[in-house]
Structure 1
Amino acid sequence: MLSPLTNPKACLVLAHGAGACCDSPYMIALAEALARHNIEVLRFNFRYMQQSIALGRKRPPEKMALLQQEFLKQISMVNYQLPLFIGGKSMGGRVASMLDLADEPQVRAVFAFGYPFHPPGKSQWRTAHFSSLAMPLHILQGERDPFGKRAELTDLSWPKVNVHWLTAADHDFKPTKASGLKQQDVICAAAAYCNKVIDEILLANQ
């Protein structure tokens, strides 16, 4: 699902998380926030989510290899000359980070909005591939995200991974009441950071 812009400077192929489709309020709000920075967003549903919507009941995600194939198919369907970026919310960001992009050299960087470093309350870390990433991975992470809190990641680092922390936010970028922020504020802050990174990459490639 493409959000066309009059004068876009880049395109971001954006995948949804495990439990909510590409038309969820979060995904729409994020796409709109990115569009205000002239970043065109292509949202799509993985096949299991399409089936879930058609059947009216939840289905679990398919195996990672199948999700990767579907994501690569979406990338191959982008047929215009804008600088290309990919990413996703939670599971979608993880899938994007694990893609073999050898045949997709036009992809400039990967963005993960709430990376699922580990299941909440468990120590099964999903970072084994971080040490061999082919391109930069920019993670937008809420400080209170149970899938990877700031306190857990303070002493961890990987060569091509940059974690940008979002104040007082959880996995869905919802902040605490005490912060005085709203979810929309955090989503806009995430989009602004993405815009900054994209501008830096485009400038470096001029």
Structure 2
Amino acid sequence: MSSPAPITADSPFDFLINEPEGTPRAVLMLAHGAGAPMDASFMERIAAMLTENGIVVVRFEFSYMARRRVDGKRRPAGRAERWTHHYFRAVEELLQGESWNSAWDGLPLLIGGKSMGGRVAAMLACDEDLDLAVKGVVVLGYPFHPIGKSEPENWRLEPLEKSLLPVLICQGERDDFGWWDEVDAIELPPQVTLEWIANGSHDLGPTGKSEATMKSNMQHAARLAADFAANPPILEMDFGPDQPIDDFDDEDDDDEA
């Protein structure tokens, strides 16, 4: 694993890169959740498990989180759509900058993230200007709605419905941002693959009495994500006429434990 240079508010793309020991199968960019940095415990563990499954993992931080490293001040993430351009620039920097390893040429490149980071990636997947090298989206815990606000008007389905790329969501069955019974009651668009993680909460860890463990759940999600990244589906569907993406609800600041 390569160590990043010190992150500053003016240099948000000091990537943190994990590479597998053997031949890589794909490259996956991961953005953090709203409340924790790219080297939070969850991000560290999932990156390590993904590399065990042959995936190159590239992490970066949104600027509000990078500034925390400079001055130690906690800042709210704000509205999720404000970070789509930031993610877009991160993709461009990875593909065009010095961080790209020529050994990755020809590998599938996917974008994604934990919770808010995955939601932003899904929003970005609606952009026709996104580099064609990007083949899919991986979301670890999609915030389908704010906690305690599961009314229809609060659901965040539009990025999924308008995504131009295949999307994999690994969702805990007991995720407060979208329980299995809530999500099971709606019809997700065909470009979305939803995989349930047994008794998982928002961090995929099991709650209550369960044979599953945090480690087994994360390993399961990592295998699913790795297989999806290595062989992203090719969409064959009509998305209908182009429509602008409306504003989304405010993102909650307690997006990630």
* TM, length-normalised to structure 1: 0.92
Counterpart for residue 163 of structure 1: 194
Asked whether 1:196 is paired with 2:221, we answer: no
Counterpart for residue 53 of structure 2: 37
Name the aligned partner's letter for residue 85 of structure 2.
Q
Matches within 5 A, 1:1-206: 1-6=16-21, 7-79=23-95, 80=102, 81=105, 82-99=107-124, 100-122=127-149, 123=151, 124-157=154-187, 158-201=189-232
Rounded to whole Å, the distance in 1 between the matches of 2:227 and 2:206 is 22
Name the aligned partner's letter for residue 2 of structure 1.
I
Contact 2:171 2:196 in 1 (8 A): yes
Name the aligned partner's letter for residue 105 of structure 1.
L
SS at match of 2:232: helix
Runs of 4+ aligned residues of structure 1 deviating over 6 Å after TM superposition are none
SS at match of 1:179: coil
Contact 1:145 1:169 in 2 (8 A): yes
1:186 offset after TM fit, Å?
Answer: 0.8
Bigger shift: residues 105-114 or 73-82: 73-82
* TM, length-normalised to structure 2: 0.74
**Number of residue pairs the alignment of both structures matches:** 204
The structure, 1 or 2, with the larger RCO (C-alpha pairs under 8 Å, 6+ apart) is 2
